[in-house]
Amino acid sequence: MNGTWFPLPPAKAPDQMHPIALAYIGDAIFEVYIRQYVLSKLNHRPEHLHRQTTKFVAAKAQAKVLAQWLPLLSEEELAVVKRGRNAKSGSAPKSADVLEYRQSTALESLVGYLYYTGQVDRLNELLSQAAREIEGK
């Protein structure tokens, strides 16, 4: 296995994948991490879980996280972020402006790339930093 959760590698190498495809899996990985993070806290009421998770996975929050990540990223990671930010993906959701949506897509592309390249330690490092950033710690 290549570091992914399931023995189903993508049809293309991660550096050959479209950034929107990386964002597609990155969105899922980011949300699973955040759900686990929220469950690691004491309050497990369903409405609280959903509200907390939504606070983390919103495009606005992800755009802020990416801004915090930028000085920490390698050249390789920055290249993935740029590809994700510049990718055309349709219209932004009503809850975010176009810039926030593009930044959010860039973050998700990087998460997907790190996931598919098996860089689990780096992924955990960045995701734990994201959780602290969103919670203001």
**Residue 43, CB-side half-sphere exposure with 13 Å CA sphere:** 8
Q: Please state, in angstroms and rounded to a whole number, the distance separating the CA atoms of residues 84 and 106.
A: 4
Identify whether the C-beta of residue 120 lies closer than 8 Å to the C-beta of residue 1.
Answer: no
Return the active site residues: 27
Q: Please state, in angstroms and rounded to a whole number, the distance separating the CA atoms of residues 100 and 114.
A: 21
Region for residue 61 given its phi and psi (left: phi exceeds 0; alpha: psi -120 to 50; beta: otherwise) = alpha
